[in-house]
Amino acid sequence: MDGLLLFAHGARDPRWAGPFEAVARRIEQERPGQPVALAFLEFMQPDFAGAAESLIAQGCTHIHVMPMFLGSGGHVQRDLPGLLDQQRAVHGGRVQWSLQAPLGEIPSVIDAMAAACMAPLHKLSSKT
């Protein structure tokens, strides 16, 4: 079974997680029964290992890791590969891991962000 692990940075303010939790809920609504776990690099729980364990406990043998970052900065280039290597060592060949491109590098996400950024301009042009 395939699972989806959403990986975000984390913050001290619990309100920061709201949009990421909303994404996880939306996926669960759109795909009932789809194992989804949200993990945080720091400050929040669950961490990467905890979220991975949750998916594995649900029977997932292939986990798709979606970095919820706008680009391939240090966390995506350095921290995330190390976390994946740790999980590969713990679970051996029993679990396959697929690392996806950071969310902000996906063309449809770029399109959605550009549309959201232009929305105030559309409101201005409709007033003139």
pLDDT at residue 94, as a whole number: 97
| Per-residue pLDDT tens over the stretch 35-85 | 999 999 999 999 999 999 999 999 999 999 999 999 999 999 999 999 999
pLDDT tens digits along 11-28:
999 999 999 999 999 999
Domain 2-127 part of CATH 3.30.420.40: no
Structure confidence at residue 10 (pLDDT): 96
CB within 8 Å of 62: residues ≥ 6 apart: 1, 2, 3, 95, 96, 97, 98
Check: CB of residue 48 under 8 Å from CB of residue 7: yes
